[in-house]
Chain A
Amino acid sequence: MIGYTLNRLLQAIPVLFLVSLFAFGIIYLIPGDAATVIGGPTATAADLEQIRRNLGLDQPFHVQILTFYTNLFQGDLGRSLLLGIPVTEALIQRSPITVGIAIYSLAITIVFGLITGIVAALNHNKWLDQAATLFALVGVSLPNFWLALVMIVIFSVYLGWLPTGGYVPFTEDPVGWLRTTTMPAVALALLQAGLLTRITRSTMLEVLGQDYIRTARAKGLSEWQVIGQHALANVMMPVVTVMGLILSVLLSGSIIIETIFGVPGIGALMGNAIMSRDYPMVQGGLFFITAALLLLNIVIDVLYTWLDPRIRVKGGD
């Protein structure tokens, strides 16, 4: 177990290096630069030159990349050009907001995804299956930014149930937090819930067709015992593995969703950084988010190996 974990961590090192290289390199392809954005339309060439000098953008490439890695090893991702604070600080400030909404969204996803997926599988090819599958598919097929816009019109403008946007920290006002995060969380969850429904359904179908389920049924266990004791545990496995994917998709979606709802999380931070060419923020943010996801995936994989149903099946039956 420890060997496997260490092995995964070692394997992650070259990946992390490649990730950092991509993150550093990607931004240098960008035409236009931060100085023109900060300078605005009335900036003169001399002004732009001065801004570049102030920000270190006039350094040669090799100096910049050397600085990038030297700082990276010291845990320093540089300083945001526009916010004027260290990138790590900005990321740490914003993370709780996005993570909070992600957890909320994940909860919605799991409850909806698992229930509809299992119901669909148990009613294979019956109308409930069709309905659940259709729901899942519609969820996967709707552009979530479009859904977000439509939700604002329906729930804020016409019905007046929820605020149009903004964010209230949970620690200040839990009800306010719920009111401001529900629409973003639902918009983000819909795609995931659809994804999870499909995975749960197909895994469940596969599991239900396995020999040990047949054996269990043949032993005369009730359907609920079969599902509860054998099937469900096995369905959880692929669900655990897609958790990494789901979180990754959640973070992607948050760029647009947080912008639309005015939520000051990591998504809005990254979206703005990309649009305004905040080099250190984009590089640091891409690296930080991806490294975090990578480590999370290792944790998930280790857990998965630990819980692997095949091992348990072999040991049990």
Chain B
Amino acid sequence: MAAPDMLDTVGERPGALARVRAGAAPFLRNRAFVTGAVLFGFIVFATAATPLLTDAAPNELSIRDRFQPPSLQFLLGTDNLGRDMLARVLYGARLSLGIGLSVVLINALLGVALGALAGYYSRLDDILMRIADALMAFPAVLLAIGIAAALGPSAVTAVVALSVVYVPRTARVVRSSVLVVRELDFVQAARAGGATDLRILRRHVLPNCLAPLIVQLSFVFAYAVLSEAVLSFLGLGAPPTVPSWGILISEGRAYLREAPWLTIVPGIAIAITALGLNLLGDGLRDVLDPRMKVEQG
């Protein structure tokens, strides 16, 4: 929404938009952030505008049209049952991104709550961090596969499994920020001023943990999309009735040699999404990371 000329016209009135402009400027100057935003924005746009981009239904069979290479009629070709790959990749994005987003939201809620508790109350810290240590001690994907296999394949399973894997990591990030912020002068001052713990956490501590949290969440999103693909590839993610990208790769790999587009296209979709999110995360870190600010200032 921040087209430069539009910002210029409102520039004379110092108000909200100007503040947005001033705030946005360092982001817009950051090449990683902009590239990431464009890539991820492209994926989000394609996901949201799917019905405008294709008439085909993702599960519509047309056995006679199977294994059509990409052409004007089928932009991304067709699969072994003659289903339109463009539609399948676009509709697949909903599930892949949906699972990623769910994991991010759960991470934001649980990760912040647990991280803040652990960081602020040293008595809880020991217990919470031992549990986090235990969960983080497992190799991430191995644990996710174990949980997913235990719960049976479904989209919810994938979200639960990936949340169990990543929430402890997010909580750790939040906790270490809280540990630092907690000792800062203005927090000590607030405490001396008789502010309640909740108020200190809410007003002083958490806002100062936001930067590393946002950076962490953008990476969690990227990892979640990648890990979801791994689970689906193994048949442990969402059921394939509305396919995710991992399922598309898994289904396509049997035809890798003769119909490579079935495997390559969803792989590239995953790569663009993860790349976009990683770039966003990098850009955010460059701009938001307090240590960098210190360096610049």
B295 with A248: CB separation less than 8 A: no
Q: Does B80 contact A (CB under 8 A)?
A: no
B260 with A153: CB separation less than 8 A: yes
A149 with B142: CB separation less than 8 A: no
B139 with A289: CB separation less than 8 A: yes
Cα–Cα distance between A202 and B289 once the two chains are bound (Å): 11
State which of A22, A248, A251, A275 has its C-beta within 8 Å of the C-beta of B149: A275
Q: Does B233 contact A (CB under 8 A)?
A: yes
- Measured CB to CB, the nearest residue on chain A to B32 is A133
Q: Does A50 contact B (CB under 8 A)?
A: no
State which of A28, A137, A270 has its C-beta within 8 Å of the C-beta of B278: A137
A143 with B142: CB separation less than 8 A: no
Report the interface size for chain A: residues with CB under 8 A from the other chain.
Answer: 51
A153 with B142: CB separation less than 8 A: no
State which of B32, B134, B267, B291 has its C-beta within 8 Å of the C-beta of A22: B134
Contacting residues, chain B, for A15 (C-beta < 8 A): 130, 133-134, 137
List which A115-138 residues lie within 8 A (CB) of chain B.
Answer: 130, 133, 137-138
Q: Which of B20-28, B50-58, B100-108, B268-276 contacts A (4 or more CB under 8 A)?
A: B268-276
Contacting residues, chain B, for A140 (C-beta < 8 A): 222, 274, 278
Report the interface size for chain B: residues with CB under 8 A from the other chain.
Answer: 48
Q: Does A31 contact B (CB under 8 A)?
A: yes
Q: Does B189 contact A (CB under 8 A)?
A: no
List which A254-305 residues lie within 8 A (CB) of chain B.
Answer: 255-256, 270-271, 274-275, 282, 286, 289-290, 293-294, 297
List which A229-264 residues lie within 8 A (CB) of chain B.
Answer: 248-249, 251-253, 255-256
A137 with B282: CB separation less than 8 A: yes
B 168-181 to A, binary, CB cutoff 8 A, 1 in contact else 0: 00000000000000
Cα–Cα distance between A276 and B85 once the two chains are bound (Å): 32
B 248-265 to A, binary, CB cutoff 8 A, 1 in contact else 0: 010001001100100110
Majority SS at the chain A contact face: helix
Cα–Cα distance between A19 and B136 once the two chains are bound (Å): 10
Contacting residues, chain A, for B152 (C-beta < 8 A): 31
Q: A18-B130, A153-B260, A294-B137 are in contact. Are A141 and B275 (CB under 8 A)?
A: yes
Q: Does B34 contact A (CB under 8 A)?
A: no
Q: Does A56 contact B (CB under 8 A)?
A: no
Q: Does B31 contact A (CB under 8 A)?
A: yes
List which B145-181 residues lie within 8 A (CB) of chain A.
Answer: 145-147, 149-152
Cα–Cα distance between A255 and B272 once the two chains are bound (Å): 24
Q: Does A26 contact B (CB under 8 A)?
A: yes
B 229-248 to A, binary, CB cutoff 8 A, 1 in contact else 0: 11001100000000000100
B134 with A143: CB separation less than 8 A: no
Contacting residues, chain B, for A133 (C-beta < 8 A): 32, 282
Q: Does B140 contact A (CB under 8 A)?
A: yes
- Seen from chain A, the residues whose Cβ lies within 8 Å of a Cβ on chain B are 11, 14-16, 18-19, 22, 26-31, 130, 133, 137-138, 140-143, 145-147, 149-150, 152-153, 157, 198, 202, 206, 209, 248-249, 251-253, 255-256, 270-271, 274-275, 282, 286, 289-290, 293-294, 297
Q: List 24 A-B contacts (CB under 8 A).
A: A15-B133, A19-B134, A19-B137, A30-B150, A130-B31, A137-B275, A141-B270, A142-B270, A143-B233, A143-B271, A145-B249, A146-B249, A146-B267, A149-B256, A150-B263, A157-B257, A198-B282, A248-B140, A274-B149, A275-B149, A286-B143, A286-B146, A289-B138, A294-B137
